[in-house]
């Protein structure tokens, strides 16, 4: 096997595994993992702040990011309205609305795949010239808007899941749909 292919194959397998886990979290009953969700909210806030800081140089990019975050928060609210919560002796659980979560994940993956395929030749040339190969991703309002949707959705949704599950007792089941 060619040694140059090992790293791309391993990275591809890792990306496919991450995609599988992301989609799996949107299907079926899930345990409420308070620490894990709080960690994800924190990480997403940091990533969102970094994107916002990078986009402040161009107001169209910053506006696209904010619009994406607002749309993501609206999708998060809609997702919470269709999420079922239950408390059992084993702990708190939630069942997310499958299609909304998968839509957000597919939206992000499709945009990344499109940008990668459309920008790959210039990324390769930029990498050879010791420039930032990801600069093209940072200059697209649509890409930033989609990242904003993902960030806004998951921050709003996870905070809503945490707040709702905190008020559950073992005999309580809440169906928001």
Which tokens go with 76? 């998060």
Q: What is the pLDDT of residues 29-68, one digit of tens each?
A: 888 888 999 999 999 999 889 888 888 888 888 899 899 9
Q: Is residue 42 part of a domain?
A: yes
Select from 171, 33, 22 the least CA-distant residue to 106. 22
The domain tally of the chain equals 1
What is the predicted pLDDT for the residue at 1?
57
Total Cβ atoms within 10 A of residue 15 = 12
Q: What angle do CA 83, 41, 113 make, to 5 degrees?
A: 85
Q: What is the pLDDT of residues 72-108, one digit of tens each?
A: 999 999 989 988 888 888 888 888 887 887 787 777 7
Q: Is residue 94 part of a domain?
A: yes
Domain that holds residue 141: 33-175
Q: Is residue 86 part of a domain?
A: yes
Q: Is residue 133 part of a domain?
A: yes
DSSP, collapsed to helix, strand or coil, labels residue 96 as coil
Separation of alpha carbons 89 and 47, rounded Å: 36
Q: Is residue 16 part of a domain?
A: no
Q: What is the pLDDT of residues 4-22, one digit of tens each?
A: 667 767 777 777 777 777 6
Percent of the chain whose predicted confidence (pLDDT) is above 70: 74
Q: Is residue 3 part of a domain?
A: no
**Is the predicted pLDDT of residue 144 greater than 80, yes or no?**
yes
Q: Is residue 90 part of a domain?
A: yes
Q: Is residue 56 part of a domain?
A: yes
Which tokens go with 96? 């997310």
């Amino acid at each position: 096997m060619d040694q140059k292919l090992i790293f791309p194959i391993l990275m591809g397998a890792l990306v496919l595994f991450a995609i599988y886990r992301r989609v799996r979290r949107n299907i079926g009953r899930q345990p409420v993992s308070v620490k894990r969700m709080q960690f994800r909210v924190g990480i997403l806030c940091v990533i969102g702040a970094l994107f916002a800081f990078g986009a402040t140089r161009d107001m169209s990019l910053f506006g696209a990011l904010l619009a994406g975050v607002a749309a993501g928060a609206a999708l998060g609210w809609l997702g919470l309205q269709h999420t079922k919560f239950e408390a059992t002796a084993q702990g708190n659980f939630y069942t997310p609305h499958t299609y909304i979560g998968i839509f957000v994940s597919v939206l992000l993956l499709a945009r990344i795949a499109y940008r990668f395929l459309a920008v790959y030749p210039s990324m390769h040339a930029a990498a050879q010239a010791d420039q930032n190969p990801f600069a093209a991703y940072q200059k697209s309002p649509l890409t930033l808007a989609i990242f904003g949707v993902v960030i806004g959705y998951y921050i709003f949704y996870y905070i809503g899941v945490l707040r709702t599950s905190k008020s559950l007792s073992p005999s309580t089941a809440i169906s928001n749909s």
